[in-house]
């Protein structure tokens, strides 16, 4: 009988179905991994809370696993950082596969996500995926997202070999860490020589203490910013953020008017933060946070960088709020394998930088995915990770390795 594996498919609004499919043979330029860990991301919550009709899709894009089978041309077709591809090796995966041929790929380089017109996103449930490798698990090779026991890795995917001393559950933090790294790197770009990019004398303000906010704070702290301030609306979240990042000031801004928040930050920063990173996912927070930047400072948007036709709109005085500061205003939506590689190098310092502490919840079966997606707003929640424990089928690795 064919060996089967389970996966989680997002079938509609808060509707996750656990389905079984045969463990696929890899395409000749692909590989199959047995998933060891997969992290839950705000993006997954976006997919399950989407009310538009779509075909079911295997979700999960932050995942790592062990190679169990390889196509004959996989070594040439898959880009592997940090070692060779071989059966038994553990890898973590860059979630985008780009086409390498469209105008964007030709201009910015293969692998640059967020701009390629024909990209495939592991664990993505949207129209573009349907026209590329199709996220629908009923089509071969079925396993196309991290929330499953297996994933088929396609040609032209970028992967990293996980060092023996790095647990898979740390490796799966690669994607959010890369977002944080890109945000930090954007502040190091000085436009025209006047703007204040990041330096050891910077006061950094991070709005929102979710996983990305905390990771960004950790990296700024590691790089030596002079003062780190973090704001949120929940004391418990702020306390966790302070403990993990070593923030100098954490500020609960609940119950304050927008004007009061801005004034409080102005006081604490003596006229605005050199660097403001907005990680809160409401456009009102962006408008407010823009007013907390010092003149010639740098503002990076993460929380509201994704295009959203249904987002609320506001009337603003654009000169007062944006341009009169002469600030460098940018956002993080595109990323590249090279940034991921720099993030992976940081993750390798997990003994020194407390990445593990952002994992507040761990679960061990696909059936617990939906409850963990629903927990995302909880006060004690930062990040949850599905960890597949070695169980009865522990000898399966041997069966398929030769």
Interaction site with Zn ion (CB under 5 A): 41, 43, 98-99, 102, 105, 116, 175
With respect to Zn ion, which residue has the nearer C-beta, 102 or 249?
102
Give the nearest distance from C-beta 214 to Zn ion in angstroms: 14
Give the nearest distance from C-beta 98 to Zn ion in angstroms: 5
Q: State the Cα–Cα distance between residues 72 and 225, nearest whole angstrom.
A: 48
Q: How many CB atoms lie within 10 A of CB 110?
A: 17
Give the nearest distance from C-beta 147 to Zn ion in angstroms: 12
Task: Provide the total of helices (H) and of strands (E) in the chain, helices listed first.
Answer: 14, 19
**If you search the block for the tokens 């995915």, which residue do you land on?**
369
With respect to Zn ion, which residue has the nearer C-beta, 93 or 293?
93
Residue 92 · residue 160 · CB < 8 Å: yes
Q: Where are the beta strands (DSSP E) in 176-259?
A: 203-207, 227-232, 249-252
Q: Is 205 helix (H, G, I), strand (E, B) or coil?
A: strand
Q: Is 381 helix (H, G, I), strand (E, B) or coil?
A: coil
With respect to Zn ion, which residue has the nearer C-beta, 149 or 175?
175
With respect to Zn ion, which residue has the nearer C-beta, 98 or 304?
98
Which residues 6+ apart lie within 8 Å of 167 measured at CB? 37
319's tokens = 């000169």
The dihedral built from the CA positions of residue 339, 342, 348 and 353, taken in this order, carries a sign that is negative
What's the chain's length in residues?
402
With respect to Zn ion, which residue has the nearer C-beta, 175 or 288?
175
The maximal CA–CA distance of the chain, rounded, in angstroms, is 70
- Parallel, antiparallel, or unpaired: how do β-strands 31-39 and 57-58 relate? unpaired
DSSP state of 210: S
**If you search the block for the tokens 């009923």, which residue do you land on?**
138
With respect to Zn ion, which residue has the nearer C-beta, 128 or 282?
128
Give the nearest distance from C-beta 46 to Zn ion in angstroms: 10
**How is 55-74 classified by DSSP, letter by letter?**
--EE---EEEEEEEEE-TTH
Q: State the Cα–Cα distance between residues 209 and 382, nearest whole angstrom.
A: 8
Give the nearest distance from C-beta 102 to Zn ion in angstroms: 3
Of all helices (H) and strands (E), which one includes residue 227?
A: strand 227-232
Torsion of CA 112, 113, 114, 119, to 10 degrees: 120
Give the nearest distance from C-beta 192 to Zn ion in angstroms: 30
Give the nearest distance from C-beta 116 to Zn ion in angstroms: 3
Give the nearest distance from C-beta 308 to Zn ion in angstroms: 16
152's tokens = 């088929």
With respect to Zn ion, which residue has the nearer C-beta, 98 or 281?
98
Give the nearest distance from C-beta 120 to Zn ion in angstroms: 10
Of all helices (H) and strands (E), which one includes residue 359?
A: strand 359-363
With respect to Zn ion, which residue has the nearer C-beta, 63 or 143?
63
Give the nearest distance from C-beta 122 to Zn ion in angstroms: 10
Of all helices (H) and strands (E), which one includes residue 9?
A: strand 4-12
């Amino acid at each position: 009988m064919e060996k089967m594996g389970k996966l989680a498919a997002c079938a509609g609004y808060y509707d996750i179905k656990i389905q079984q499919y045969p463990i696929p043979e890899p395409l000749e330029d692909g590989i199959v991994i047995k998933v060891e860990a997969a992290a839950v991301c705000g993006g997954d919550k976006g997919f399950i809370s989407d009310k538009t009709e779509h075909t079911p899709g295997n979700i999960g894009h932050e995942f790592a696993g062990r190679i169990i089978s390889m196509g004959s041309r996989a070594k040439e077709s898959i880009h592997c950082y940090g070692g060779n591809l071989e059966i038994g090796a553990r890898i973590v995966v860059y979630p985008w596969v780009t086409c390498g041929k469209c105008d964007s790929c030709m201009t910015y380089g293969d692998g640059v996500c967020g701009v390629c017109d024909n990209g495939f996103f592991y664990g993505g449930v949207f129209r573009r995926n349907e026209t590329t490798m199709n996220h629908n698990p009923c089509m071969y090779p079925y396993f196309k997202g991290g929330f499953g026991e297996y994933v088929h890795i396609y040609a032209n995917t970028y992967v990293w070999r996980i060092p023996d001393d790095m647990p898979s559950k740390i490796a799966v933090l690669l994607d959010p860490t890369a977002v944080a790294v890109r945000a930090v790197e954007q502040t190091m770009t000085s436009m025209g020589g006047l703007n204040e990019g990041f330096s050891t004398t910077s006061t950094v303000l991070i709005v929102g203490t979710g996983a990305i906010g905390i990771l960004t704070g950790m990296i700024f702290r590691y790089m030596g910013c002079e003062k780190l301030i973090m704001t949120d609306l929940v004391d418990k979240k702020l306390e966790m953020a302070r403990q993990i990042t070593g923030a100098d000031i954490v500020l609960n801004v609940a119950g304050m008017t927008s004007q009061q928040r801005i004034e409080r930050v102005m006081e604490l920063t003596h006229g605005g933060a050199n660097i403001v990173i907005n990680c809160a996912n409401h456009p009102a927070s962006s408008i407010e946070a823009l007013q907390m930047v010092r003149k010639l400072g740098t503002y990076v948007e993460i929380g509201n960088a994704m295009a959203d036709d249904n987002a609320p709109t506001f009337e603003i005085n654009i000169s007062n709020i944006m341009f009169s500061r002469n600030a460098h205003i940018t956002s993080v939506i595109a990323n590249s394998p090279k940034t991921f590689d720099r993030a992976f190098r940081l993750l390798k310092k997990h003994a020194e930088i407390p990445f593990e502490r952002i994992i507040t919840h761990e679960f061990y079966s696909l059936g617990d995915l939906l409850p963990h997606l629903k927990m995302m707003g909880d006060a004690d929640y930062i990040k949850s990770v599905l960890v597949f424990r070695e169980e009865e089928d522990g000898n399966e690795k041997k069966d398929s390795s030769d």
